[in-house]
Chain A
């Protein structure tokens, strides 16, 4: 199991996976946007997206858990 954690404060620009999707390590799952920068967040382990806690447009803080992979 692993968490997808926000690497910076900003808003959720795109969620490129859905709950139940299978992802592999290194795959981009969520893209954050802050201060004119888009930062993709990668899966740190391979597995299935168990839960996504946010929707596109939400504001998140650095360190927030955005999704869980199991």
Chain B
């Protein structure tokens, strides 16, 4: 049984995990960097310990120090949250050596799914469709041309070591492909020290739709429907909702069943997410699997009534899932928006001191906050300072409630993306569910994406 959990994370997700620990009668230990000593989650936990300096390698990635604190405080489990050590197979292995339950899947499965190329191959074997392309890095521009001819233009070049949209470029013709090949390679080398590139077919006007799963260590899995997270800036999610305004029941079930089959085939246990691109004909293509809790998990909790952190803890301590697929609810509509400390037009980070914070309170509004009204938002970490989640009985009611909530939401002292969020929420195309991944570029004016 899990009695005391060390939370190897920070910000809103640390607060979120502490809340479930309290509900389940489990003690919680927070860890923090020097930059986070006044963060809300530090005082919310039962105990809190300093990890080290503000840089992540001195603090949230410092496994040695984390184990030291876990031992000192007699924790018997570690919750990694998302990011940081959550998808580090070696960390999960070390947890086992230290007699700590890692609240996540088996380390070997983390490893398999963490390698994008291997995961793509494996999922293809498990029967999931993947985006047409080459399953290994390109040798040279000649091979890129041959491969592009085979899969058809437009194609996308992707830096193997890339992430967050850096090192991704589209080519519509052979001439364009040859032109961007060198530049993209140079850029990848400069940013990541690795010039390797992949090629794949560009799925046009795609949506980003993901399936949430839960699976126990007895080989039983279920899916908790989908989340649509198409509206992104710099390839990072801004709006997330469940259900998707685009999927029909048939596609939803087909995707869910395919994913559960894959989960059971690879021996996965824990909460997990399968990300897909879905084209305008509702063809879906597997992108990647996240073997951890997702930032946007609250919208799934709102429509199913399940507590995903609680489910993770129960699975980790060896319990069976207490429900079958047929018993999973799908009630109403929920939308989450991510509040980022950044310029709403250029998307450039805006760290600094918050001088005032006012958030609306209603029974259909949920807040996940990383900050309070005197926090200093550090430049060392991710720009997300809060999530605002609303629920309605229908999508249009949820949108109405979101618009009202955003109007009352005030953050002063730093720039935030609140104006952008409002602009999207009131947009006619958003109401119509025209939520493709290019939504912001296509419909929102005055923005100049830099990367």
On whether the beta carbons of B349 and A37 are closer than 8 Å, the reply is yes
A-B contact pairs, 10 of them (CB 8 A): A7-B346, A8-B343, A9-B352, A9-B379, A10-B379, A35-B342, A35-B381, A36-B382, A37-B348, A37-B451
* B contacts with A: majority SS: loop
Taking the complex as formed, is A34 at the interface, i.e. its CB lies under 8 A from any CB of chain B?
yes
Number of interface residues of B (CB under 8 A): 20
B327-368 residues with Cβ-Cβ distance < 8 A to A are: 341-343, 346, 348-352
| B446: Cβ under 8 A from any A Cβ | no
A38 near B191 with CB under 8 A, answer yes
Is B383 on the interface with A (CB-CB < 8 A)? yes
A34-B379 contact in complex given A9-B351, A10-B351, C-beta closer than 8 Å = yes
Q: How large is the interface on A (under 10, 10 to 19, 20 to 34, 35 or more residues)?
A: 10 to 19
Of all chain B residues, which has the CB nearest A11? Answer: B379
Whether, in the assembled complex, B450 has its beta carbon less than 8 Å from a beta carbon of chain A, the answer is yes
**A8 B191 Cβ-Cβ under 8 A:** no
| A35 and B54 alpha carbons, distance in the complex (Å) | 12
> Nearest-CB distance from B237 to chain A (Å)?
14
A-B residue pairs, 8 tightest by C-beta: A35-B349, A34-B349, A8-B348, A35-B383, A34-B379, A10-B379, A8-B349, A9-B351
- Which residues of A lie under 8 Å from residue B342 when comparing CB positions? 35
Pick the contact of B382: A8, A9, A11, A35 (CB < 8 A).
Answer: A35
Query: Is B450 within 8 A of A39, CB to CB?
Result: yes
A10 and B349 contact, Cβ closer than 8 Å, known pairs A35-B341, A39-B450: yes
Residues of B within 8 A of A38 (CB): 166, 191
Q: How far is the CA of A45 from the CA of B380 in the complex (A)?
A: 31
Instruction: Give every chain B residue within 8 A of A62 (Cβ-Cβ).
Output: 348, 350
Residues of B within 8 A of A36 (CB): 164, 381-383
Please measure, in the bound complex, the distance between the C-alpha atom of A35 and the C-alpha atom of B383, giving whole angstroms.
6
From A61, which residue of chain B is reached at the shortest CB distance? B352
Chain A positions within 8 Å of B341 at CB level: 35
